[in-house]
Amino acid sequence: MLHPSRWIKTGKHRCVQLSVNPSRGLMDEKFVILVQHAPPGSELTVHALHQCDDGHGWDAFAHYISDATGRVNVSEDCSLGGTYSGIEPMGLLWSLRPVPGSKPGLRLRKKNVQEPMLVTVSVYEGHRKEGFADLVPLASVLVERWYMAPGVRRIPVTEGGLTATLFLPPGPGPFPAVMDLWGGGGQLVEYRSALLASHGIAALAIDYLTAKNTSQTGINMSATYFETAYKFLQEHPQILGSRIAMMGLSFGTGVTLRMAAYSEVMKLRCAVCISGSHVQPVDKEMGSVKELLCFVSLQMGRLQCPLMLIVGEDDQNWAAEESANDMKEMMERAGNSHLLTVLSYPEAGHLIEPPYTPHVRFSKFKSVVMVLWGGQTLAHSRAQEDSWKKMLFFLRVNLFTNGLEKVFGPPFKIAELC
C-alpha cells in the first residue's frame, strides 16, 4: 500500500517528496497536495488515477513548475495546462475523465459507500499528457475519499414494501432526517445520503423506479409509497419525527414538489429540488409522466414549507431554469414567495452532485441511450461546491432551528448567510 508521503531518488540525486493532507477524508473535504525537494524550476506533472466500482479507469493531470525551493503546492500554484488550468486545489478530482480508450458515455458513481474512493496521486518529471501507465512516477500517494464518516450507520430498509437505505449519523440521536430521491434512472443510489449523514443529518435513500418496486401496480409508485417512507422516519426512535425534509434531483424534483404541495400526510420542514420541474401529472400515478398530454403545473401556492431550487442554466435535460422562474412567479402571485430560495448557476448542467464529483456533459442512460446533460466543466464544478455548502446550511437552519426568518429575521438571503 502507498503511504501518505513517498519519495524516490531521481537521476539528479534528489529525493522528490509528495504528500496529500489529509490523505483520508470525506468526499467534500478539501486536501492539500504538496511536492517538495524537486529541482528548482523543473517541469512536473501531477496526476490522479481512480478505478471506479464498475472497473473503468478515470484520470486527471496538471502541469506545474517548481519554485526556487523545489516546491509545488497545488492549492496555491497555477496549473499551466492539463485537464484544468489555474489555481484549483481540487482540480485533480473534479476534472477526472475516463482514461483514453474507454468506451463512450461513462459516468462516475460510487456504488459501495462502505468502501472509499481510492485515488492514486503521482508526480512525474516533465510536462506529460499521456502514457502515464508506462511511466515511472517520482513519487505516489494513495488517497481515500469517503462518503461515510466513521461512526455513520448504514441500515437497509424493506418494511412496508420500501426499498431504501437509512444512514444515521454517529451518536445516539435523535436526528433530523431527509428523504433522498434521485432521478429517472432508477436503482438505489446511496452516496449523497451517506454524505448527508456524515454531516449530522440522517438520510433515507429511496429506490422508487426500478422494476421490483413497480411490478405490483404495473406503474410507478403512488404517493402512498413516499408517505410510507415518511411514516417510517416519523416512527424511528433515532429520528426527530417533526423535523423531516425531502430532496429530489431531476425526476425526483417533481416527486418532491408533488408530495410537499399535495400530501395530507407529509408535513415537511423544508424541501430541496435540484435540476427538475414542477410540470407533471397531479391527479395520476407517477407512471403517467410518459403521457405528455397530462402535464400540468403543480399549484405552488399550496406549498407551506421552505423550498430551495438548485438550477443549472445550461441544463440540457430539463427546462430547469424556466421551471424555476415559473415557480417563482406562481409563488409571488400566491403570496408564499418568502419560502423560496433559488440558486441558479450559469454554464452548470443537469447533474449537480456533491462537491468534486467529476463533471460529465453526456453519458449513457439506463445503458440504452446517450443523454446530453449540459454544463461546462469548471463552471459546473464551481456550482456543485457552492450549492452543496448552501444546501447544507439551508437544511441545518430548517431542520435544527425554527427556520431562517425566525433566526435571522426577514428578509434573508442564503447567499449572504453562507
How much of the chain exceeds pLDDT 90, in percent? Answer: 75
CA dihedral 318, 289, 186, 201 (to 10 degrees): 70
Q: What is the pLDDT of residue 367?
A: 65
220 and 86 within one domain: no
Local confidence band at 368 (pLDDT 50, 70, 90 cut-offs): confident
Confidence check: pLDDT of 307 > 60: yes
Q: Among residues 121, 145, 169, which one ends one of the domains?
A: 145
Query: Domain residues for 81?
Result: 5-145
Considering the domain architecture, whether residues 202 and 347 belong to the same structural domain is answered as yes
Quick one: pLDDT at residue 291?
Answer: 44
Active site residues: 250, 315, 350
DSSP letter string over 223-257?
A: HHHHHHHHHHHHH-TTEEEEEEEEEEETHHHHHHH
- Give the residue-averaged pLDDT of 364-371: 80
The last residue of one of the domains, among 107, 129, 145, is 145
Residues 116 and 166 in one domain: no
pLDDT at position 297 over 60: yes
Residue 274 to residues 19, 366, 379, Cα–Cα distance (Å): 36, 20, 16
* pLDDT tens sequence across 385-401: 999 999 999 999 999 98
Is the previous residue joined to 411 through a cis bond, with omega within 30 degrees of 0? yes
My answer on whether 196 and 213 are in the same domain is yes
- DSSP for 41-79 reads T-EEEEEEEEE-TTS-EEEEEEEEE--TTS-EETTTSPB
Does residue 124 share a domain with residue 25? Answer: yes
Task: For residues 11 and 140, state if they share a domain.
Answer: yes
Q: Give 107-145 pLDDT, tens digit per residue.
A: 999 999 999 999 999 999 999 999 999 999 999 999 999
For 165-179, how does the pLDDT look when each residue is reduced to its tens digit (9 = 90+)?
999 999 998 999 999
Residues 201, 114 share a domain: no
Here the CATH number for the domain that contains residue 59 is 2.60.40.2240
Residue 286 in this model has a pLDDT that exceeds 70: no
Predicted confidence at residue 210, as pLDDT, reads 74
How many domains does the chain divide into?
2
275 near 310, Cβ under 8 Å?
A: yes
Same domain, 83 and 222: no
Tens-digit pLDDT profile for residues 56-89: 999 999 999 999 999 999 999 999 999 999 999 9
pLDDT at 243 over 60: yes
pLDDT at 296: 55
DSSP reduced 3-state for 177: strand
Here the CATH number for the domain that contains residue 330 is 3.40.50.1820
* Shared domain check, 138 and 157: no
Q: Are residues 188 and 233 in the same domain?
A: yes
Is the pLDDT score of 21 beyond 80? Answer: yes
**Residue that is last in its domain, among 113, 145, 177:** 145
CA within 13 Å, CB half, 27: 30
Residue range 337-366, pLDDT digits in tens: 999 999 999 999 999 999 999 999 998 887
Same domain, 109 and 138: yes
Give the Cα separation of 383 and 345 in Å (integer): 6
Same structural domain, 129 and 162:
no
